[in-house]
């Protein structure tokens, strides 16, 4: 049913992380959460929504809610999280 499907604008951040493991993923999430909280305290509305990891490819895709790519870039830089690209995307969810 169409009514059950929700479309939400998000930003997708792609990054390559050599040596990717569970500890590194947890640390990344903690840094991104803290960076978002710090920026929101400065009235920059950016929030890390979660990460999908492909450990065998040493790649992650992180989702953010924000007003712009620039806000997402700021959050990632503040978190010390290098990235390959940031793109606007649509999350399709039930």
Q: What 8-state DSSP symbol labels residue 20?
A: -
Cα 34–36–39 angle (5° rounding)?
Answer: 110
**How many Å from the N-terminal Cα to the C-terminal Cα in the chain?**
10
For residue 1, the model assigns a pLDDT of 53
Residue range 24-56, pLDDT digits in tens: 999 999 999 999 999 999 999 999 999 999 999
Counting the structural domains of the chain, the total is 1
Please tell me the distance from the alpha carbon of residue 12 to that of residue 82, in angstroms, as a whole number: 13
Residue in the block written with tokens 């939400």? 8
- pTM here is 0.91
Q: Under a CB-based contact definition with an 8 Å cutoff, are residues 64 and 44 in contact?
A: no
- CATH number, domain of 57, equals 3.30.70.3090
- Provide the domain limits for residue 6: 2-93
């Amino acid at each position: 049913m169409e009514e059950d499907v929700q479309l939400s604008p998000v930003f997708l951040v792609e990054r390559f992380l050599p040596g990717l493991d569970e500890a590194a993923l947890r640390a990344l999430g903690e840094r991104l959460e803290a960076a978002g909280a710090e920026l929101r305290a400065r009235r920059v509305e950016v929030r890390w929504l979660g990460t999908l990891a492909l450990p065998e490819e040493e790649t992650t895709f992180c989702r953010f809610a924000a007003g712009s790519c620039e806000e997402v870039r700021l959050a990632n830089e503040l978190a010390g999280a290098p990235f390959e690209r940031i793109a606007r995307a649509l999350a399709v969810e039930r």
